[in-house]
Structure formats: structure tokens, C-alpha cells
Amino acid sequence: MTDPLPLLKLHAAMPGLPETDHPSPERLITGNPRRDTWNDVDVAVGGSRLYCGVWRSEPGHWRIRMADGEHELFTVLQGRCRVHHEDGRFQEAGPGEAVFIPAGFAGSFEVLETVTKTYAIVAAQPV
């Protein structure tokens, strides 16, 4: 029997140093926001991987594309953001609101006010 994962509490002020990056230049629409990620879960789930943690970004706007078999559910803790579909529709989220991004989604992510969110991503592993 393998050891079960410990219970994990995620919050806006995570301990430790995050992984920091910026959107790649070819994806940028506006700004060049710093993005901090505290990925606290990375486990196999069937033929997929589950990633969970906390993510924070400064204001900016960049293109995103979810891979086939990759889904994300996030909940905003602080700030405001929009997820834009390539057809012009969008969902805006603020504190206490969640957005689901389905596999294969193409569009953009816009941070209106510095945002902190928790996330869970399930991504199919290549065969």
C-alpha cells in the first residue's frame, strides 16, 4: 500500500519561494506580467496527472491554449481576471468565483487586477 497524500490547505499567502515566469513574447497581447506559481500537488491519476496549487499574476493579457486532455478549474482568492474564448465570449471572475477551462480551449487570459487563484489541472499523459 502506498502512503496517501497529506491533507493540503491552499491560501493566498503561500510559504516558500514560487516558480516565477512571464508569458512567452509570442503569446503577449498587453503587458509582461510576472507570474508566481506554488505547485503543491503533482500526482498520477489513472492515465493523467493532477496539478494543484496557488498562482498569482500581475495585470496583463496573453493567449492560452489548453492541450487535448488538459482541463483546469480555478477559484479566484484575490483580484479579477477574464478568460476570453477565441470567438469573443468571456467569463470574468473575482474573489470566491471559479472558472472551468475545458480541454482544447483556445483564447486568452487577462488579469485586470493582480490575481491570486487556486487551481487544479488534470492533464492526460502522452502514451
Query: What is the reported pLDDT for 125?
Result: 77
Q: Where are the domains of the chain?
A: 30-124
CATH of domain 30-124: 2.60.120.10
pTM of the model: 0.91
pLDDT number for residue 3:
63
Cα gap 53→42, rounded to integer Å: 9
User: Which of 111, 109, 63 is CA-nearest to residue 83?
Assistant: 109
> Alpha-carbon dihedral of residues 114, 57, 116, 18, nearest 10 degrees?
-140
Low-confidence ranges of the chain (pLDDT < 70): 1-4, 126-127
pLDDT of residue 1: 47
Cα separation, 98 vs 7, whole angstroms: 21
pLDDT at site 8: 87
Phi, psi of 26 (to 5 degrees): -70, -15
